[in-house]
Structure 1
């Protein structure tokens, strides 16, 4: 459906739906809101674990509406956050799931990382993973 006549804008909701479908399929979830929360929280945690320059480089590779989710609430002066361990990352993402906790945060985060690996360039993923601590890098299959 053409609303604006700009393909990037008109196609943006479909792209988000595709990303959420990927996560739902990968995790066997039937709750779209849960998949959205996982995507948002993982993107925010990843963004905040990177330097400002690397976070911006990754953001530039994301589709327009996903990019908006990624940048929502970002305060560049507060990044990278400390501490930045694997456990801190998983606790941060899992902490958003108060009503129905994540059964296995590692598997959930790895699904988002798999999605990013599929949807962004290998060069960007190499830069992102090299900027992370090894323990967190291991979640990128």
Structure 2
């Protein structure tokens, strides 16, 4: 008999498998990429936007989102997608060279994370995130998810 914890883990694994399938990579690599993108995202949105986003994530993914989060830290400003990609590589640390062969791979991975999150987040959650991003990063996110919310 499955416990509630097993159900939480299964839903988190479902998200992870979707991302891995989209990128045609291992779950381990998908996890590192998901974690890096979520951590960059949370550092660039308000606590309120983070809480609204987390409310819709699978419980296991919420844990990834908040891992090593310094809630009192000031919200950093991004200017262009390259800034976002650079920070994803920094969060991925020593695995960045293994996970991304170039910036096109980083961009593709970031877009895949947003596409995957699109299955779990309401339009309002994405609108809250997009609203605080600079124009070029807004376009990156919007181009990643398209015009409509996808439902599993």
Give the TM-score category using the shorter length: 0.7 to 0.9
Question: RMSD value over aligned CA atoms?
Answer: 1.6
Cα distance in 1 for partners of 2:131, 2:78 equals 17
Q: 1:50 to 1:25 in 2, by over 3 A?
A: same
SS in 2 for 1:138: helix
Task: Look up the match of 1:133.
Answer: 134
* TM-superposed deviation, 1:99: 4.6
* TM-superposed deviation, 1:44: 0.7
* TM-superposed deviation, 1:10: 2.6
1:13 counterpart = 2:9: yes
| Within-5 A mapping of 1:15-34 | 15-29=11-25, 31-34=26-29
Question: For residues 30-74 of structure 1, what are the alpha-carbon distances to aligned partners after superposition, in whole Å with 9 as ceiling and x for unaligned?
Answer: x21110000111011101110121112111221111111101111
Compute the TM-score of the two structures, normalised by the length of structure 1: 0.87
The farther-off stretch of 88-97 and 33-42 is: 88-97
Q: 1:99 to 1:90 in 2, by over 3 A?
A: closer
Q: Is the 8 A contact 2:29 2:99 kept in 1?
A: no
Q: Is the 8 A contact 2:43 2:75 kept in 1?
A: yes
1:60 counterpart = 2:55: yes
Cα distance in 1 for partners of 2:22, 2:99 equals 17
Q: Is the 8 A contact 1:49 1:80 kept in 2?
A: yes
* TM-superposed deviation, 1:22: 0.9
Alignment gaps of 5+ in structure 2: 145-152
* Count of equivalent residues: 136
1:91 counterpart = 2:86: yes
Task: Look up the match of 2:123.
Answer: 122
Compute the TM-score of the two structures, normalised by the length of structure 2: 0.81
Cα distance in 2 for partners of 1:98, 1:125 equals 26
